[in-house]
């Protein structure tokens, strides 16, 4: 059995590790987009780079005799998810989406919502002047016109222009501690946090720190999973689904 995992997330790596270690002889290939300079590689076969759209992915599925396709990409990697749905349909390969649950506000949170980075940008001036931007290095062009605001931008790799003119870059990779996030907010005098609803505990400490500090949080909603694609929320659920395909 050959399983292709569209990866790049902690859940994808955990799934590949479990599939590789189950002793069944399953062939596991993990595909990474190649946007991170030094990714954490999972066990098994790894390919890096795009497929050339839905048609290219469908051709790869046929050529490499893939039996199961699992989309375990980042919740905001919308393009590859819709390409995966079309490719799986064209190649007649079962598809599962592995998506960690999103975050939900609790008592004391001051959350505001937007459907995209472009929609979030004009909302920011009404929420604060010193922004902790944790949406990654992609999409900073949406905030490039906000010349009166100061940004602390945290990402794994350095962002490229266009980006906000008043900006400090913090290169770091989670998981992040609550004490560390508290100190960042205090030291940089942050008065608004911007985040994507990526979910996961590894990066949720910033939400607690913002709540404690009374700082508003601007949350970018995640795009939907393509219609008709079944969803697992944990690697264990994905493993159980794969077992039904053997």
Helix and strand totals (H; E) in the chain: 7, 12
Considering the chain, what is the average pLDDT of its residues?
93
Closest CA to 134 of 102, 181, 101: 181
3-state secondary structure 74-126: CCCCHHHHHHHHHHHHHHCCCEEEECCCCCCCCCCCCEEEECCHHHHHHHHHH
Tokens of 77: 């990697």
* C-alpha dist (Å) from residue 179 to 106, 183, 194, 205, 207: 20, 6, 19, 9, 12
Domain at 2-101+223-243: CATH code: 3.40.50.720
Domain at 111-220: CATH code: 3.40.50
Q: Residue 37's pLDDT is what?
A: 65
* Cα(42)–Cα(7) distance, integer angstroms: 9
- Residues 165-191, mean pLDDT to the nearest whole number: 95
Please give the order of strands across the beta sheet that includes 45-48: 45-48, 27-32, 2-6, 68-71, 95-98, 231-232
- Report pLDDT digits (tens) over 16-35: 999 888 767 789 999 998 76
Percentage of residues in the chain with pLDDT exceeding 70?
Answer: 98
Cβ-contact 134, 204 below 8 angstroms: no
Angle, helix 10-21 to helix 235-243, in steps of 10 degrees: 40
- Residues 147-162, mean pLDDT to the nearest whole number: 93
- Residues 212-225, mean pLDDT to the nearest whole number: 96
Q: What share of the chain is helix, strand, coil (3-state, %, to 5)?
A: 35, 20, 45
Closest CA to 11 of 72, 81, 69, 76: 72
- The pTM (predicted TM-score) of the whole model is 0.84
Tokens of 34: 């190649």
173 or 145, higher pLDDT: 145
pLDDT bracket for residue 232 (50, 70, 90):
very high
- Report pLDDT digits (tens) over 189-198: 999 999 999 8
Q: Residue 174's pLDDT is what?
A: 83
Q: Where in the chain is the domain with CATH 3.40.50.720?
A: 2-101+223-243
What count of Cα atoms within 13 Å lies in the side-chain half-sphere of residue 86? 14
- Report pLDDT digits (tens) over 48-79: 999 999 999 999 999 999 999 999 998 988 78
Q: Is 218 helix (H, G, I), strand (E, B) or coil?
A: strand
Q: Would you say residue 36 has pLDDT above 70?
A: no
27 CB-near residues (< 8 Å, 6+ apart): 1, 2, 3, 44, 45
Q: Residue 124's pLDDT is what?
A: 96
Q: Would you say residue 14 has pLDDT above 90?
A: yes
């Amino acid at each position: 059995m050959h399983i292709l995992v569209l990866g790049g997330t902690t859940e994808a790596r955990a799934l590949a590790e479990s599939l590789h270690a189950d002793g069944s002889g399953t062939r596991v290939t993990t595909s990474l987009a190649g946007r991170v300079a030094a990714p954490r590689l999972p066990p098994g076969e790894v390919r890096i780079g795009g497929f050339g759209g839905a048609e290219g992915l469908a051709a790869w599925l046929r050529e490499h005799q893939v039996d199961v396709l699992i989309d375990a990409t980042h919740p905001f990697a919308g393009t590859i998810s819709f390409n995966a749905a079309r490719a799986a349909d064209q190649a007649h390969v079962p598809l599962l989406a592995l998506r960690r649950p999103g975050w939900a506000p609790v008592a004391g949170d001051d959350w505001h919502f937007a459907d995209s980075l472009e929609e979030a940008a004009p909302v920011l001036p009404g929420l604060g002047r010193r922004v902790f931007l944790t949406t990654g290095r992609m999409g900073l062009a949406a905030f490039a016109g906000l010349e009166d605001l100061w940004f602390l931008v945290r990402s794994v790799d350095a962002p490229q222009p266009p980006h906000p003119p008043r900006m400090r870059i913090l290169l770091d990779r989670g998981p992040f501690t609550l004490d560390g996030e508290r100190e960042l907010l205090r030291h940089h005098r942050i008065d608004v946090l911007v985040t994507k609803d990526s979910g996961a505990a590894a990066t949720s400490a910033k939400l607690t720190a913002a709540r404690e500090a009374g700082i508003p949080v601007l949350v970018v909603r995640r795009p939907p999973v393509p219609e008709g694609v079944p969803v697992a929320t944990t690697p264990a659920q994905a493993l159980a689904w794969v077992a039904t395909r053997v």
